[in-house]
């Protein structure tokens, strides 16, 4: 008997051909019994999608998903599933799981706190110039970090901040108690939350409700000594208002891993700001990333084959 007939049709989609091929290779190595196909463009995906039962993907074309009549499960290879939201009306009854809980994002966030707190850019510039500027810096335990978005990544950030002795404030849709968070606020309490924070860390998903969450009014509520760190999505922040706040000294600085447009255009003034640390959306780009995603997929596949609820499921109505 051909065992492959007993297994579902799995399609791998990623718009980068090399990455798509890597996912396909690792899936084939770890699960040779699967009926797997791979695509990296809409034209290749189109004839595959009607018979696809499981889609392992990143940013699949919305039009193709409308034809996914056999689709039962989407395993999205990143935490944020905002690219699926335009197709959610066509995905009713489809289970969506994501690759949430990446500790490297929390590592990045706390690394950004440390770099901004000790003004590492100045230290590097002084080193290059041979300048011995002996300045004093208070310990982090005297400071407050506010984490907006207390999903798995936000909670990892809170846990790390607690380890540094910082006061940790959090914000989530329902202001319920959360481990490692001293006080939790609801979104309508932003005016009370922001003035207390020395560091504001954004760990929100990209949804209709989070778009432009922080704008000019929010920056006016922040301390002029406060820093913004964004490891969520670029469109959570009104970028023009952020640039104005950074240029005017309304806030002290920022560390940004995500942007409204990626790659960030070379003409964007953020590149030249001395109070800004930029990185090219790498906070979650860990080594052996594909293997980690496939391992998570395999854990969920066992539940799927037993007809059980899948771990790390996403509610597309909420966007996370």
Q: Residues 236-245: pLDDT tens digits? A: 999 999 999 9
- Phi, psi for residue 250 in degrees, rounded to 5: -65, -35
Please work out, in degrees rounded to the nearest 5, the angle formed at the alpha carbon of residue 229 by the alpha carbons of 223 and 232: 130
Mean pLDDT, residues 180-197 taken together = 97
Residue 20 CA to residue 2 CA, distance in Å, equals 26
pLDDT at 6 (0 to 100): 60
Residue 178 CA to residue 73 CA, distance in Å, equals 30
Answer CATH for 3-101+286-314 from 3.40.630.10, 3.90.1310.10, 3.40.718.10, 3.40.50.720 = 3.40.50.720
Is the CA virtual torsion 59, 60, 63, 66 positive or negative? negative
pLDDT at 46 over 50: yes
In this structure, what token pair is assigned to residue 145? Answer: 């970090």
So where are the chain's domains?
3-101+286-314, 103-278
Q: Which of 102, 160, 172, 233 is catalytic?
A: 233
Q: Output the average pLDDT for the chain.
A: 94
pLDDT at 115 (0 to 100): 98
Reduced to 3 states (helix: H, G, I; strand: E, B; else coil), residue 298 is helix
CB-CB contact of 116 with 277 (8 Å): yes
Mean pLDDT, residues 285-300 taken together = 92
pLDDT at 286 (0 to 100): 83
Q: Which of 297, 262, 282 is nearest to 8 (CA)?
A: 297
- Phi, psi for residue 147 in degrees, rounded to 5: -105, 115
121 is catalytic: no
pLDDT at 45 over 50: yes
- Beta strands per DSSP E along 218-300: 227-230, 253-256, 276-278
- Phi, psi for residue 73 in degrees, rounded to 5: -150, 130
Residue 101 CA to residue 156 CA, distance in Å, equals 8
Mean pLDDT, residues 110-121 taken together = 97
Residue 270 CA to residue 119 CA, distance in Å, equals 17
Q: What is the DSSP string of 155-199?
A: HHHHHHHHHTT-EEEEE-SS----TT-SEEE-GGGHHHHGGG-SE
262 is catalytic: yes
Q: Which of 59, 88, 90, 281 is catalytic?
A: 281
What number of H helices and E strands is found in the chain?
10, 13
Q: Which of 33, 142, 262, 274 is catalytic?
A: 262
End-to-end C-alpha distance for the chain, whole angstroms: 41
Neighbours of 278 (CB within 10 A): 14
pLDDT at 136 over 90: yes
pTM: 0.89
Question: pLDDT per residue over 207-230, tens digit each?
Answer: 888 999 999 999 999 999 999 999
CB-CB contact of 46 with 67 (8 Å): yes
Mean pLDDT, residues 200-212 taken together = 93
Identical fold for domains 3-101+286-314 and 103-278, yes or no, is yes
Q: How many residues does the chain have?
A: 320
Q: Say which CATH class 103-278 falls into.
A: alpha beta
Given the DSSP bridges, would you call strands 183-185 and 167-171 parallel, antiparallel or unpaired?
parallel
pLDDT at 1 over 60: no
pLDDT at 272 over 70: yes
């Amino acid at each position: 008997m051909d065992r492959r007939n007993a297994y579902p049709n799995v399609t791998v989609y990623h718009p980068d051909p090399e990455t798509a091929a890597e996912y396909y290779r690792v899936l084939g190595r770890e699960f040779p019994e699967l009926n797997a196909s791979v695509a990296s463009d809409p034209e290749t995906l189109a004839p595959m999608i009607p018979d696809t039962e499981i889609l392992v993907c990143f940013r699949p074309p919305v039009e193709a998903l409308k034809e996914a009549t056999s689709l039962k499960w989407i395993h999205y290879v990143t935490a944020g599933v905002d690219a699926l939201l335009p197709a959610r009306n066509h995905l009713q009854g489809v289970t969506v799981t994501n690759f949430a809980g990446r500790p490297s994002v929390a590592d990045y966030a706390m690394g950004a706190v440390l770099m901004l707190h000790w003004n590492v850019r100045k230290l590097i510039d002084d080193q290059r110039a041979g300048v011995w500027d002996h300045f004093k810096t208070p310990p982090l335990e005297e400071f407050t970090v506010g984490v907006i978005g207390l999903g798995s990544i936000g909670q990892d950030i809170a846990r790390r901040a607690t380890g540094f002795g910082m006061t940790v404030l959090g914000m989530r849709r329902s202001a319920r108690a959360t481990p490692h968070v001293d006080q939790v606020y609801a979104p309508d309490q932003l005016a009370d939350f922001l003035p207390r924070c020395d560091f504001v860390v954004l760990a929100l998903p990209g949804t209709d409700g989070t778009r432009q969450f922080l704008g000019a009014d929010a920056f006016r509520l922040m301390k002029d000594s406060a820093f913004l760190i964004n490891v969520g999505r670029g469109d959570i922040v009104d970028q023009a208002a952020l640039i104005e706040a950074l240029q005017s000294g309304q806030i002290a600085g920022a560390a940004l891993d995500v942007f409204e447009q990626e790659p960030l255009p070379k003409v964007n003034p953020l590149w030249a700001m001395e109070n800004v640390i930029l990185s090219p959306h790498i906070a979650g780009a860990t080594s052996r990333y594909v293997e980690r995603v496939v391992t998570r997929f395999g854990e969920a596949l066992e539940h799927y084959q037993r007809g059980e609820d899948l771990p790390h499921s996403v509610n597309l109505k909420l966007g996370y």
